[in-house]
Amino acid sequence: MDTSQPTPIVAVENAGVHFPIGHGQVLKAVDGVDLAVMPQETFGIIGESGSGKTTLGRAIICLEKPSIGRILHAGIDPYSLSARELRRHRRQYQIVFQDPNAALDPRMTILKSIREPMDVAGDLPDRDRRARAVELMERVGLSPDFANRYPHELSGGQKQRVCIARVLTLRPSLIVCDEAVSALDVSIQADILNLFAELQAEFGLTYIFITHNLGVVAHVSDRVAVMYLGRIVELGRTEDVVLHPAHPYTEALLSAEPVALPSQLRPDKRVVLKGELPSPISPPSGCRFRTRCRFAQPLCAAQEPPWRETAAGHWSACHFAGELPIMSAAELHPHKQRESASRLGVHHE
Amino acid sequence: MSIVTEGAARTRTVKKRRNRFLSWLISDKRAAVSLTFLVLLASLSLLAGFIAPYSPLEQSMDILVPPSALHLLGTDDLGRDVFSRLVHGGPMTLYASFLAVCIGTLIGLPIGVLAGYIGGWVDTAVSRMIDTILSCPSIVLAIAVTGALGIGLTNSMIAVGIVFSPGLARLIRVQTMIVKGELYVDAARTFGMTTTRVIFRHILPNAIQPVIVQITLLLATALLAEASLSFLGLGVQPPQPSWGQMLARAYSYMEIAPEQMYAPGLAILFTALAFNALGESLRSLLDPTRRRSD
Amino acid sequence: MSKRALRLIGSRLIQVIPVLVLATFAIFSLLQLVPGDPAAVIAGETATAERIEQIRHMLGLDLPLWQQYLHWLGGAVRGDLSNSLITGLPVLDEVMRRLPNTLLIVICALLLSIAIGVPLGILAATNVDGRIDRIVTSIASLGVAVPNFWMGMILVGFFALKLGWFPTTGAVSIFQDPATALWHAALPACALALSGIAEITRQLRSSLIDVLSSQYVRTLHAKGLSQSKILWHHGLKNVSLTLLTVIGLVFNRTLGATVAIEAVFAIPGTGSLVVASATNKDFPVVQGVVFVLVLIVIFCNLLIDLLYSALDPRVNKR
């Protein structure tokens, strides 16, 4: 362990989340994931539905208990704490859900919902809680007039702002954004993403951004992990992963990014994945992606691929990592070469 | 906001609630009628002593007299004024219904919530017990339990309450399970909320709606149960008046004075109808998306 | 019968066992509910100490609880539900003697409920919010609010006493004289059927409305299928499952409701038996009647469960 490195705010150590589903079968939604999130970075997790990314996000903030491995918060295993300590500890690790409708109690006013975490914590006097709640409402762009309204009177975007304000009341260290903008109108998405960026700078937050939308994740993340069927197949700095993918699955995801061009001008090099997502109950042997991979070899079925660092800070799980003629973003969208970096909004240091 | 405006806001909320209640009554005629009837019945029950011209226990020599000026609804086989007995039977009936439903709720609700929230083997065990009690026809079970406890109004209504509890438990169990899966419950847990607080702050308020409707409808069932049990001699004991019991007596003298049957029967019918109508109206009223801040 | 069907029946039977066991335990524990000393309570206020001890010994109350339960259970399984405290005769015999009378009116009432309730429900659902629907719904609302024994009394008063078309009281065994038995059972069955009709009408109406207003049916309409064809093929097939469940419910309720009806019509059935024995604290009889009725209800639910699986292809997946 490199002691000169700061302690990761979240360290996932070979964690898995298994759900028994009757008849002796087990659904391994997350099956052996290792990653570390550094303080104040934005870490993206991308995958299609069924990849286990939401379950991983929930496990990180202790809504699901890891069946194997462990997830450390700043070096501490939350499940080693007493129930009382855990309740106190977990306030620092919050989540904004995908569906703002379902995330708010329909019987509580907006103000009550936003105050709720503080009411539970009970640290501040009543008047201060109210003041902070109103202050945060304004900070996220909601007029204080909304305070006595009910959730069903607000739009989706407004409700999501309420959820963000609610989460901020506890001044958390980490916020998991689980598809936080996916359910919103495209025009609102940009606003909310900008809000996230501002808040990060202002409050020194760390984000874990979970999404299926490569465009979003490339726009906001410093580093990104690609998940497939409960495992991470590629991990690295966003620009490395996006511009020079090392895993065939990442390549396919990138090629599927919609390009805003009229069809006659679109010389797409689409990588079409064969077949369908296998059942997570009985994943393919060896490399899980092999059933849809255009480079699959017999070795892929026989052995699980090693987790290798192909370039500095850039990892992937493939037997042939670095050797495959995987197209980079430049090759996938040649006419957009100049713009690819900025359109994908990749961070530069 | 300052204290002054907060106080003003609270007064406004109270006014809004009252207005909402009134506008509900105006729009839903069925609710208005049934609520009026029930309030009337309750008042009559409270004032029974003043309204009834005779004591319900006072016997006389004028037996089985048809309705007249002296006796509005005639007299029964012991010369007692039927109208007075009817009026005095009201409070008995209301008390019986509420007692049964209270007991059913007190037993069924906590069990159902715990089974739904905790899940696992607790839930399985509770569900089996519910299935078991529900596998016996309710009235028969109520009679059996009454026999064990000893016949009488309170005991028989306790028995009815016990028989109600599995149904209520099952209902709130399902509702609890639904609400428990909602994201706002997950959110509450991430804030570090204790289980107890989650149950009282989030689960119960959101799960309780169908239960309130069911409880109101159960009042009608309890009423009919009390009538049956008193008719069979297991409930209210003579000489206390009870509508069911009055029907029993009327039946034995049916050939001589058939009109005796109608008053108590209609009283039971209308009260049961009122409870049912109220329950159905509540069902359409209690809907969170109808809550407005205006 | 196919192997799969046998396996299904087998698995359902196994599922029923824990409920049965719990039920027997609950029935047995009925005695424990008695406040104070059950033996003294049963013996009555004027009993001597010897009589109380006699009863205690007869009921096995001097044995530890689990022994009592096993003893009772063992007897029940063999068909020995002990003897009545009043008559000294075997409980099972008495119950079995009376059961046919009760079942006759219950089954007649059930058939009536289905025969009237189903058409009414269909009528209401196909005329939603129209005059017919409102009338039917009002009748149904009345039906659940009317005390059934009162209905019985009125029926007796009018049809039996006034018009003389039916007998007022009594029952005849269906095995001896079916025609007379049915004649006696007619009025009681009518009184019993009232709430069953109301319940079936309501449930059928609401689930039929749901089905008929579903996207699928609207598509069928658009394709040009006639209303009646839609109703019979698609509509009824889908509500048959709900109907089955409701019938089970109605059967359970009717079985209980006979208690009051038997009192009105002086029918020697299990209902009147349980009332008399509860009043007289004849607990073995009470327990025996409850036991038999529970068996009947569980058996019925099993039947309905199996029919459900047979009708609903989805349930058979596993």
Q: Where along chain A do its domains lie? A: 10-221, 244-343
Q: Which of A120, A178, A179 is the best mutation test for B, with the most CBs of B within 10 A? A: A120
pLDDT of C62-114, one tens digit each?
777 777 788 778 877 777 777 777 777 888 888 888 898 899 999 999 999 99
Helix (H, G, I), strand (E, B) or coil at C84: coil
Chain centroid offset of residue A104 CA: 21
Lowest mean pLDDT of A230-239, A266-275, B158-167, C255-264, name the range.
A266-275
Average pLDDT of chain C to the nearest whole number = 82
Secondary structure letter of residue B199 according to DSSP: I
The candidate with the shortest Cα–Cα distance to A70, out of A15, A148, A130, is: A15
Question: Is-contact A27 A55, C-beta < 8 A?
Answer: no
Cβ separation C256–B247 shorter than 8 A: no
Q: In what order do the strands lie in the sheet with A42-46?
A: A93-96, A174-178, A206-211, A42-46, A223-228, A231-237, A314-317, A307-311
Does the distance separating the beta carbons of A97 and B187 come in below 8 Å?
yes
A28 closest CA partner among A10, A5, A55: A55
Average pLDDT of span B34-60: 79
CB A102 within 8 A of CB A95: no
Report whether pLDDT(B161) > 90: yes
**Beta-carbon contacts of residue A77 (< 8 Å; ≥ 6 apart):** A70, A71
With residues binned 3-state (H G I as helix, E B as strand, rest as coil), the percentages for chain C, rounded to 5, are 80, 0, 20
ipTM confidence: 0.86
d(Cα A287, Cα A297) in Å, to the nearest integer?
10
Cα C97 to Cα C142: distance, rounded to the nearest angstrom: 35
Tokens matching residue A79: 């499940």
Q: Which two tokens stand for residue A245?
A: 């993918």
Contact with chain B for residue A95, Cβ under 8 A: yes
Task: Point out the least confidently predicted range of A263-277, B8-22, C133-147.
Answer: A263-277
Please report how many Cα atoms fall inside a 13 Å half-sphere around the Cα of residue B140, on the Cβ side.
33
Q: Are C39 and C56 in contact (CB under 8 A)?
A: yes
Provide the residue type at B205 as one letter: P
Are C290 and B150 in contact (CB < 8 Å)?
Answer: no
Helix (H, G, I), strand (E, B) or coil at B200: helix
Contact list in B for residue C34 (CB cut-off 8 A) is 148-150
Cα separation, B153 vs B229, whole angstroms: 9
* 3-class secondary-structure state, position C47: coil
pLDDT at residue number C230: 67
Please tell me the distance from the alpha carbon of residue C102 to that of residue C254, in angstroms, as a whole number.
10
Residue A267 has pLDDT above 70, yes or no: no
pLDDT for residue B147: 87
Q: Which residue has the higher pLDDT, A297 or A206?
A: A206
**pTM of the predicted model, to two decimals?**
0.83
User: In degrees, to the nearest 5, what angle opens at C-alpha C128 toward C-alphas C125 and C134?
Assistant: 100
* Torsion sign (Cα): B151, B155, B161, B166: negative
Which residues of chain B are within 8 Å of residue A134 when distances are taken between CB atoms? Answer: 1
* Residue whose tokens read 């501490």: A76
> Pairing state of beta strands A93-96 and A174-178?
parallel
CA dihedral B192→B194→B199→B201, nearest 10 degrees, is -60
Which pLDDT score, from 0 to 100, does residue A338 have? 46
Please give the pLDDT value at position A339.
46
Work out the minimum CA distance from A99 to partner chain B, whole angstroms: 8
User: How does pLDDT run across B199-212, given as a tens digit for each residue?
Assistant: 999 999 988 888 98
Asked if residue B2 has pLDDT above 60, the reply is: no
Looking at the complex, report in whole angstroms how far the Cα of residue B213 sits from the nearest Cα belonging to chain A.
18
d(CA A233, CA A125): 48
Percent with pLDDT over 70 in chain B? 91
- Band of pLDDT at residue B187, cut at 50, 70 and 90: very high
CB distance B93 to B38 below 8 Å: no
Calculate how close chain A gets to B18, using CA atoms only, in Å. Answer: 17
The type of residue at C24 is: T
**pLDDT for residue A330 is more than 80:** no
pLDDT of residue A80: 92
CB B178 within 8 A of CB B248: no
Higher-confidence position of B287 and C219:
C219
Per CB-CB distance under 8 Å, the chain A contacts of B195 are none
User: How far off is chain B from A291, nearest CA to CA, in Å?
Assistant: 34
Q: How far apart are CA A235 and CA A250, in angstroms?
A: 10
Nearest to B156 by CA among B269, B276, B236: B236
A163-177, B24-38, C98-112, C222-236: least confident range: C222-236
Letter for the amino acid at A124? L
Q: What is the pLDDT of residue C62?
A: 72
Q: Which of A278-287, B254-263, C254-263 has the lowest mean pLDDT?
A: B254-263
Residue range B257-285: mean pLDDT, rounded: 86
Provide the pLDDT for residue C314.
61
Question: How far apart are the C-alpha atoms of B21 and B33, rounded to whole Å?
Answer: 14
Q: Do B183 and A107 touch (CB under 8 A)?
A: no
| Whole-number average pLDDT of chain A | 85
Structure tokens at A135: 């202050």
Which chains sit next to A, with 3 or more Cβ pairs under 8 A? B
**Closest Cα of chain B to A117: distance in Å?**
5
Nearest CA in chain B to A153: B292
The SS3 call for residue A231 is strand
Planar angle of CA A169, A155, B21, nearest 5 degrees: 90
**Residue contact C19–B135, C-beta within 8 A:** yes
Chains that touch C (3 or more CB pairs under 8 A): B
Q: Which domains does chain C have, with CATH numbers?
A: 1-86+280-318 (no CATH), 99-267 (1.10.3720.10)
- pLDDT above 60 (res B138): yes
Residues in chain A: 349
The 3-class SS string of C104-124 reads HHHHHHHHHHHHHHHHHHHHH
Top-tier CATH class for A10-221: alpha beta
Please give the pLDDT value at position C183.
Answer: 82
Q: Is the peptide bond before B239 cis (omega within 30 degrees of 0)?
A: yes
Q: Which helix (H) or strand (E) holds A133?
A: helix A126-139
pLDDT at A6 over 90: no
| Contacts with B27 (C-beta within 8 Å, 6 or more apart), sequence order | none
- Quick check: B61 pLDDT over 50? yes
pLDDT of residue B9: 61
d(CA A328, CA A172): 37
The verdict on a CB contact (< 8 Å) between C149 and B228 is yes
pLDDT, mean of residues B57-85: 77
Binding-face residues of B in 198-237 toward C, CB within 8 A:
220, 224, 227-228, 231-234
pLDDT band at B289 (very low <50, low <70, confident <90, very high): very low
Distance CA B129, CA C22 (A): 7
Confidence of residue B112 (pLDDT cuts 50, 70, 90): very high
CB A46 within 8 A of CB A236: no
Read off the tokens for A225.
């992990």
* Alpha carbon distance A72, A90 (integer Å): 12
Pick B2 or A170 by higher pLDDT. A170
Q: Which residues of B touch C35 (CB under 8 A)?
A: 149-150
Which residue in C31, C263, C279 is closest to B151 by CB distance? Answer: C279
- Of A333-337, C57-61, C234-238, C276-280, the one with minimum mean pLDDT is A333-337
Cβ distance C244 to C311 under 8 Å? Answer: yes
